Amino acid sequence: MQIEERLVNDVGILQLAGRLTVNDQPGLLKQAVASLVQNGVRHVIVDLSHVRYVDSTRLGELIAAYVLLSRHGGRFALAGTPPRVRALLDVSSLTHVFERFDTVEAAEASLTTSAPV
């Protein structure tokens, strides 16, 4: 797994690439989100458009990131979610937990113009 991080309009954007499995740099996503929160970022978008596979362990990291941001009054969104990942969210009954957008730009527009939920 690879993570590219950037800030746009006070929104942290994490672009992930590759396979997100327990064997691929465990904890990296959790650390990236925690670091953003520690630096005052309250909204995070995870761009999954370049992700080939997500296992249940990494799905747990996405949930932990969502909880962390929610506790700090922020929002967490997924963008570019591939069909296989959407299917995993459906099977796990998590479809309505995460805000999901087709693109990072759509997520950014929503997170920068709407009040926290």
Question: Is the model's pLDDT at 7 over the cut of 70?
Answer: yes
Token pair in block for residue 108: 């950014």
Tens digits of residue pLDDT in 38-94? 999 999 999 999 998 898 888 899 999 999 999 999 999 999 999 989 998 999 988
Predicted local confidence at residue 114, as pLDDT: 63
* Nearest in space to 34 (alpha carbons), one of 65, 4, 5: 65
Topology of the domain comprising 2-113: Transcription Regulator spoIIAA (3.30.750)
For residue 117, pLDDT beyond 50: no
